[in-house]
Amino acid sequence: MALPLERLLAEGRDRWRRLDELLDVAAKAPAWELGPERMREIVRLYRLAAADLNRLVAATADPELIDPLNALVGRGYRFVYGARRVESFWGVRRLVRFFTREIPAGFRSGRRAVVVASLAFGAGALLGFGAVAVRPSFAEDLVPGEFFTSSPRERVAEIEKKEERIATVEQAADFGSQLYTHNIRVSFLAFCLAAATVVGGIWLLFWNGVILGAVAASYVLDGVGVFFVAWVGPHGALELPSIVFAGAAGLVLGRAFWFPGEVTRGAALRAAFPTVWRMLIGTSAALVLAGLIEGSFSQLSAKTVPYPLKIGVAIVLFVALSLFLFGRRAAAEGAGREGEAA
């Protein structure tokens, strides 16, 4: 009986391992996200595992061999024949789980693309800052007209001596809505360029970094760098990473399309989709929050909120965002496996 048992174990182990992986994914993802192909694969592997269990019981009484397969077949049975609880996407519990578990899992899945996008943006910022620091006249060429001022110090003095620009909640909401609508458009462009061309998205992130670096250098050279950090920091702590995240989501999709590897392009895109849409929804939510902050708290001058407090808020927001998206180890690994291929 030894040879049939060895053959059974050799033939079955890969199938059992694959079924276990798919059931892990199925436990953390709704049925519609699994897709028909993986649903059919689970059913097929479950039936094979059930047949293997019968053969194994006939070949040996060793509980160390039988018990793990028996437990696996039990899991498969509950998935295939059990009544899976159907949850509405818009249910409160579903939304809470989506934003607290699935969105961070999606960002961790696309972390390599986030690193690439961050490096592109950071390199641009360093270049823009360095260029203006070496030759201040470059600022007029690099900074768009609506952001350029020949004397940042005079602009800061004017802001600080005037009444607060935002005086009511209605003004803050109206101004914020204009800002996050604009930011979402910029992020959408970064996503589309990265998804369609890969290189185009990287270039757009790089150039936006150049502009930010050039503006920052102008304020630093004029002795009002603290104002710049306090003014941009609270909303920039969410807004700037979100633009990078949108470009990163495009890179995940663009890589799946242009460099699918050993699988078909369609399979690569299907594998990348859960990561991409989670990243995009998380990015959109962060941009809306950034717009609300920019339309209210960021606009307050030192007369109302001291610069150190605004900078402190910016640091807290950035650290909180980073820890929320990338610092949790125990969240859904099923989505992580899907995104690794992307």
Least confident of 50-59, 158-167, 221-230, 315-324: 158-167
pLDDT at 341 over 80: no
Split at pLDDT 50, 70, 90, the class of 240 is very high
Please report the pLDDT score of residue 19 as a whole number: 92
- What length is written for the chain? 342
**Would you say residue 262 has pLDDT above 70?**
yes
Q: Over the chain, what is the mean pLDDT?
A: 86
pLDDT (tens digit, 9 = 90+) per residue, 42-97?
A: 999 999 999 989 988 888 888 888 899 999 999 888 888 764 444 444 557 778 88
The domain segmentation of the chain, as residue ranges, is: 2-86, 97-340
In this predicted structure, the answer to whether residue 335 has a pLDDT above a threshold of 90 is no
Judge if pTM exceeds 0.85. no
For range 192-204, the mean pLDDT: 97
User: How much is the average pLDDT of 100-128?
Assistant: 96
For the cut 60, the answer to whether the pLDDT of residue 147 exceeds it is yes
Kindly state the percentage of the chain with pLDDT values over 90. Answer: 54
Mean pLDDT of 126-148: 92
Burial (Cβ within 10 Å: 0-12, 13-18, ≥19) of residue 158 = exposed
